[in-house]
Amino acid sequence: MAMTFKEEILQGIPAILPPKIKDLESTNRAPKRKDILTTSEKQLAIKNALRYFPKAWHQELAVEFASELIEYGRIYMFRFKPKHKIYARAISEYPAKTKQAAALMLMIQNNLNPDVAQHPEELITYGGNGAVFQNWAQYLLVMQYLAIMTNEQTLHLYSGHPMGLFPSSKNAPRVVVTNGMMIPNYSKPNDWEKFNALGVTQYGQMTAGSFMYIGPQGIVHGTTITVMNAFRKILKPDENPNGKIFLTAGLGGMSGAQPKAGNIAGCITICAEVNRKAAIKRHQQGWVDILIDDINILVQITKKAQENNEVISIAYIGNVIDVWEKFDKENIFIHIGSDQTSLHIPWTGGYYPADLSYDKANILIKENPDLFKEKVQESLVRHAKTINNHVKKGTYFFDYGNAFLLEASRAGADVMDTNNIDFKYPSYIQDILGPMCFDYGFGPFRWVCASGNQKDLDKTDEIAALVLRRLMKKAPSEIQLQMQDNITWIENAKSNKMVVGSKARILYADAEGRIEIAKAFNKAIKNKTIGPIILGRDHHDVSGTDSPFRETSNIYDGSKFTADMAIHNVIGDSFRGATWVSIHNGGGVGWGEVINGGFGMLLDGTAEADKKLKNMLFYDVNNGIARRSWARNDEAIFAIKREMERTPNLKVTLPNLVDENHLKNLF
């Protein structure tokens, strides 16, 4: 007799060796990783994998795992993928002793839902390598641990591996997550390849390895805000983006949000994607209007859309370099341009070279990685050259925090400023989100309705809109635009049909907004108007991430290469009430280039939850504002002074500003 879902969860590693899986379900498979281990290291990888299983199985599994390592460059343990369907069930359906543990189980399954995850068979949620776990044994054990956990235990996860349940307290986080936390000198791209292949670390991206990914919706809002404000920078006050072009690339995980955001912003979005299956998936999900694989037809449709001032999103199945070059020849004006391919992993399928098919490129990654790297760098030089041509015509180009300019510079492309230190193009943080949002404390606050009920999501949308409208009445002029953009967003969220997987929502809010919305949710839960709510955020936020080429690129006091803020953030959240906390190396711009942290918090309608949410959400935001104000960012100085006026208990060290004339002729 087949086991029930609950029975399968409770058993963890099965007592009887399951049969080998012949055919894997998903057609969208992760790139095959390079053959990087020596013979002795491959033996160690097998030895590491076998320690999850009883000795009686080792002989059979050793052969199978060796085959996986040779074929895929990783040991995923496909045989142990559970039979139950993986998706976000209602919180009441999980076999857990605490609601907090059940909330985590819900979020884990949402991150691995085939409708949400980029490469579900390999437990990768987005970004080409953003893993929830390294292998299926880890999934089975973690779900079992969560099922038996009490509210006086904490589960510690080391890069997907459940080290175990340890005694703690009711006030402690139920789970502490780390991903890829390497000794600094072992944090180069090949180190990830090696140690991930050995089965001792993983790349958690930003929200995959912390179980807080909610599908492309998670970035639609931030992308919408970015695109809207990019057009505001270049258009006259009485102009709108209708018929204006936003050209970019990437339709995989996070990048899949771009065409939907372009539609909301009201422009023509052209998004190139080399992976046909990824483009088709986004089209089927309604995230992009039309698919085109003929560049000449793309030109015709684009010109017509410009003439008619249309709002439309187009997925071009092909390389974005070809689009930039073709539009240059056809003299099609691109108003704003960017790129959101996964250049944090440029040598393993994050960026595909021009003049090489997708399938041939994937073969080259495995069989001749050095040649693949050479071709990627050649394409980056070519990519930058055609962008430069458009910028001379007036295109506004910005780096979208995917390490495009960083890797282009390393390839020798013409992307450096005249001082040969800075890039000639700003990142979107430097020009848009940093001064307009992060410095004021506005960042991606998100929630998940743990009931799985659409009515709960509708009610939370209504509650959030009411709270924001109330707060806007007394908000200072400096943040009126941010408030209005988010009110408009939340009031139209349902009609934009952005839910994939769990019943989730996102908006940008400052500390006051997050706390007031969360309090209103908790009150509604107490009154049984809605079910439990799971709070969280993208790590791409005010405090959570230290990333010199993205989140903290508008920090100019020399500290943008430090990671104190992210570490303090995760530690500070952990003792202020978070249900779980996470800290990662890598994510967004690449392994060794960023440290980022996040949290999850369950609201259950109790007075205890009310106290925790006020304490934790306040620190989670203001930690970053304090750091940004110390860096002398004007908007952050304004925000932290305002917060200290509202909160007598808050005392922050403020900078004394220096007259530049005092620095002249000193050296």
Which residues does the annotation place in the binding site for NAD(+)? 127-128, 205, 273, 400, 588
The DSSP call for residue 313 is E
Phi first, then psi: what are they for 597, rounded to 5°?
-135, 160
CA-closest candidate to residue 429, choices 512, 509, 545, 351: 545
The pairs formed by 403-406 with CB atoms below 8 angstroms and a separation of 24 or more are: 403/343, 403/344, 403/346, 403/549, 403/588, 403/589, 403/590, 403/593, 404/339, 404/341, 404/343, 405/549, 406/343, 406/549, 406/589, 406/590, 406/593
Q: What is the CA radius of gyration of the chain?
A: 24
Contact partners, residue 213, CB within 8 Å, separation at least 6 = 110, 111, 116, 125, 126, 130, 205, 207, 253
Q: Where are any strands of DSSP class E within 243-401?
A: 245-249, 268-273, 290-292, 312-317, 336-337, 396-397
CB of 398 closer than 8 Å to CB of 426: yes
**How far is the C-alpha of 160 from the C-alpha of 149, rounded, in Å?**
17
CB of 161 closer than 8 Å to CB of 167: no
As given in the structure block, the two tokens for residue 191 are 């180190």
- Residue 2's alpha-carbon distances to 83, 84, 153, in angstroms, are 9, 10, 31
Q: Per DSSP, what are the bridge partners of residue 600?
A: 536, 580
Whether the CA torsion 88, 94, 96, 100 is positive or negative: it is: positive
Is 151 exposed, middle or buried (CB count within 10 Å of its CB: 0-12, 13-18, 19+)?
middle
Helix (H, G, I), strand (E, B) or coil at 69: helix
Q: Say how many Å lie between the first and final Cα of the chain, rounded.
A: 82
Q: Hunting for tokens 């405090």 — which residue is that?
A: 543
**Furthest-apart CA atoms within the chain: distance in Å:** 84
Residues annotated within the binding site are 127-128, 205, 273, 400, 588
As given in the structure block, the two tokens for residue 136 are 């299926």
CB of 147 closer than 8 Å to CB of 108: no
Name the helix (H) or strand (E) containing 514. Answer: helix 511-526
- Residue 160's alpha-carbon distances to 181, 199, 278, in angstroms, are 12, 10, 26
Contact partners, residue 91, CB within 8 Å, separation at least 6 = 99, 102, 103, 106, 450, 451, 452, 531, 532
CB of 313 closer than 8 Å to CB of 298: no
